[in-house]
Structure 1
Amino acid sequence: MTQAKAEIEALVKELNYHSYRYYVLDNTEITDAQYDLMYGRLKELQSKHGYTPLDSPTERVGGKPLEKFEKAQHRVPMLSLDDTFSFEEALDFDRRVKRLLETTDDICYSVETKYDGLAVELSYEHGTLVRGSTRGDGFIGEDVTQNIKTIKTIPLKIQGAIVPDEIEIRGEIFMKRDDFVKLNELRQSLGDQPFANPRNAAAGAIRQLDPNITAQRKVQIACYGLGFVNSIPFSSQDGLVSWLRDNQFPTPHIFEVVPNIDKALDVVKHIGKIRESLPFDIDGAVIKVNDFKLRETLGARTKEPRWAIAFKYQAHRGVTKINEITVSVGRTGTLTPVAILSPVSIGGVTVSRSTLHNWDEIRRKDIRPGDTVIVERAGDVIPHVVEVLYRDSAERGAEFPAPSNCPVCGSDVVKEAADDEVTEAAAYRCIGLNCSAQAIGRLKHYVSRAAMNIEGFGKKTIEMFYEKGLLQSITDIYKLEAFKIYGLPGFAEKSVDNLFVSIDNSKKATLARFLYALGLRHAGEFVSKTLATRYKSIDELYHIKHEELVETEGLGDIIARSIAEFFNDEKNIQTIEEILSRGVMLTNPDYKSINGRQPGLFGAILPLNGLKFVITGTMPVERKRLEALISENGGKVTSAVSKETSYVIAGEKPGSKLDKATELNVKVITYEEFLNLLNK
């Protein structure tokens, strides 16, 4: 064991070193394959010998979801900074510092980038990270330790030669713009609301009750300050930053120590000039008295220290008028209200459109056509309306409601409740199967291997055919003409022939595969298979009632509602019939007339078969995810408690359903007890 322990600790040290070079320095010494090999060896040794160091990179994997965040009190208050918006105000700050210190000598300052993110505190005991907490109100925040540990740039153990018994390090959680864009693209591909800006995305990642979600989002940290500390007498800000860097903590992108306020303002001006080129959002620069003893003398007001200010750059804003509000339909069918503006120059760019995010935002800010508004544009983020500056009752238009029909294809629009604590808004979605706004996404899914499996239709081919006008909807696949394809990039005679052979082969499909190919919201392969076992042909699903579907084993309330909405849209039925008229023939080998319990995908009895669940209260996971988990394992979710209810899953702040369960003597279980039931 001694030899194994030594190898484990050596691997941990080496892996942490390479993680620091990769994530903080962006300067790797080994390949990803080499890292993965060492990481795999570490996991193997830890599992075999039952020894896992606290700073092992395997400890960064998210644990089980929390029910709620516990409160975390800061031993030293996390004060906010006084904002300054002009150079004259910054000079006033310098004069005030000198007056309080009773000196006319120049003051040495440090200047650093001010990240637009979420302030956190990292607490270490004997070099080991024991707690991560948010700023909260400055005195009490939330314990987000599980989430903090998933961030690879944060050391789980301080490895330097000088390690304090206790130290609290403060920093800002943020997200790079490129990672923000990729996250929003992923959310939109899944049909979720995009985040408004990188700050919201970073804050949302840290405040997830499920740390596995945090681990998937690429958030960063810059460390710049201290809370409580003992046994190391830091004397200055540059001394602290030097120690942080020596101990592999990420520090501000720009950090300079200057001899006086004039030089400090030169750095502030420089940061202001380059801020748009930085890979992350900043909203200012921080000027601090460098000497810690002078800071002690200066002290603090109730909420702000007297030894630091935040110089805030003017946001790229403009004042203009909303001429009208229209609706944009995204590639997954999500509807977004858009303001059409009188053109205004913001940061050198002419802006004539601005996102209004969602209808909850419109109602909250009371935005209408005719209003004079402040529009902000930061970096590459889409311009958005900050607030209404003036409402002219004579010019003001009516409230702008969410449409009931898609403005692109005319199909029904359905409202879906929010499933993310950060976006806090309901989504409106077009369910049209042939909606041109969703065409490329639907086409890619329809031809995929797990769906209709049409070989020769790669991503680039679909996009090229769409641009050429050859494919605008699923039905166009079966209308393609060979002579229009010959000569296109990658399509000689043989490749064209192969494509049409593949299209013909796809015309013989199972009902389950076809249902999956249609891309019904919330209906994956399992749900498609479940429908096929219950319904003999697709026309049995036309105009189906939600009430009937919700009684089907394996379908929850949300899934049943989504399927019913899809098959009650006349345009969708017409599209399906047109596809079938093009020679697509469906067989259904999965259909079974079953008395009693419904089998699972492969005939096995699923663990929750025959059980009915009601969910009440706030859960540690998203409600949709829990309902899907129940459905995928054979159970059914209903909205009301009755004598037929098997279990009520009660979370935090349960409603009247808990009283009803008590009244009917229905068993009430927690989320953890549900997981135990699932794993029996």
Structure 2
Amino acid sequence: MSVFTLTKEHLDVLEEKKLKSNLKLIEKIIRNDDFYSMDQKDMQYFLRVADVLYRYGKAIISDKEYDDKEIWYKENHPESHLYDVVQSDLRESGKTVKLPKKMLSTDKAYSKKEIEKWLDRILNTALNLNIDRDEIIIRVTPKLDGYAAYDDGSTLYTRGDGVNGQDITRAFKRGLKVTKSGKRGLGAGEIVINKKYFDKNLSEYFENSRNIQAAIIAEKNVDDKVKKAINDGACVFYPFSLIDNWTGHYKELLNDFDNIIEKIWNAVDYDVDGVILEAVDSQIKDNLGSTRKFHRWQIAFKRNDEAAEVEVVSVTPQTSRTGRVTPVAELVPTRISGATISRATVHHYKMVKSTGVGPGALLQVVRSGLVIPKIEKVIKPVEPQIPEYCPSCQSHLIWESDHLVCPNKSDCPAQTENTLVHFFKTLGNNDGFGPKNIEKLANLGVKHIHQVYDLKSHQFAMYGFGEKTSKNLYDQLQASQNIEIEDWRFLSAFGVSRLGGGNCEKLLQHYSLDNLFGASVEDIEKLDGFAKVSAEAIVEGLANIREEFFKVYNLGFNLSITPKLSEQQDSSSPIAGAIIVFTGTMLQGKRGDMEKHAKSLGAKVAKSVTGKTTYLVAGTKVGENKINGAKENGVKVLSEQEYLDLIAQ
């Protein structure tokens, strides 16, 4: 096991950003890669810490490792707005101002295959726009590893959260110049320092060039050595529009990919952590647009360094709190990048099965600096060992996409606490039963939902809660049974695999809660939107929760019934087929009631705005950024009254 301890520099940054709440967790993840078995809140905390330390030049994991974890998190917690959590505050202190133009992050790829997939999207878009493939030109530029900023000619802004940054024009007043004798006002770019200059004059005083970049824009006095670097022209603002580039036909790029990437990677004497590829055609750019975080017409290509061949001793299954069984490869202890590596997480059992990871397999493991070990490829595969039963409760495991999952949500020790948290969070009508109180009850033997509802006020006191808190908890349990909630939400709260809110609502358009448990795989597979694999997972999951479900259901919750398809109105309404997001406070009715009514008129109701959203219905107390963001995505914004007028047509 490798040893890792946060340094004083790390701690100083986390102290400034008020992120020192769980340092043992951070060190544990770096040592053992336990990220994938953590609960959602701890994952968010780790990603935020890793992001902040990276911004301050104190990275604890590599870009690739961060991206892998971020992607895994978003795939497994799609309801969580990770971008808001991670970038919930601007990294710099002081007053923020709106950027003249959004500065989005860049999506990333780590293989030519991923680049080819991105190019396929570009080609498909061109086809839809009747643009000849022979006209598709790609521009490739170095991805500078500097301090992102935007220069509008009068003000220099930090990137901030991509929408709001800070005024750091003081950097130009200190003598900072635009590279290549360029003029001010060339838009987005990076503050960078010449690598040779840094190595020769500053490396013994500063840990890395990122520390210099941050020092250039500091509000307080600038270090004399940094001032000299600015005066010597070693520190510059490098606008992306002036950067060295390769521009050519996409086929030429694919045919000579390695040489082009290598040439551009080394085109400038500044720190580079990849190359940027982007479509040139303005029609393609406009059509592809952007996600909330990335431009779809642009991608960054990166690569890993420092690898070793390592033999696998065994593969250990570990059940997470979400029920997914994560394979952990126990390795022959091997020294990489100054640390001894003895284990690495394999993403999922589909990877174990398809690549042959097992005892005796030979792996190529990558580790750059203080990075969690990552399996790059399997050099010598073996016959894998796939577990049939959950290591926590011995239940039969099921396949869910690439993952092995324990469907026993009620009695699996590894899952019971998470099941309780998920239930009350999904109901959304009970503030008292958050993770901390659930953890306290679970540690004292309360493992099931029905057991929580069986508790009386005096029993909460026996579990260590105060008299007033005990009464409040009991009262909230009664209220959660009496407040009306949708039957699909109630079903979704039990956390069955493949049964999120959307699928629950689809099923309950055909079945009542009482008879759904009698549906067969064949019955569900016949329904629109349910493949065989999903149907099998749902039927097995329902069988596992059946006993617990009816114990809770029979307590008498106030459920509103999902209309059956035969009862729903036809598609003649003005909003039939539209995707609608309601936001803000409504004056003429509850937002939940408006959402239900919209569904009955044939609309689909979403919780967040995307490029596919048809209408954003805005009540009062809605931020201007949200409205502007919707408009930029081409979404029509309606006031509450405009919406009511629309559906009255």
TM bin, normalised by shorter chain, reads 0.3 to 0.5
TM-score, normalised by the number of residues in structure 1: 0.44
TM-score, normalised by the number of residues in structure 2: 0.45
Higher radius of gyration, 1 or 2: 1
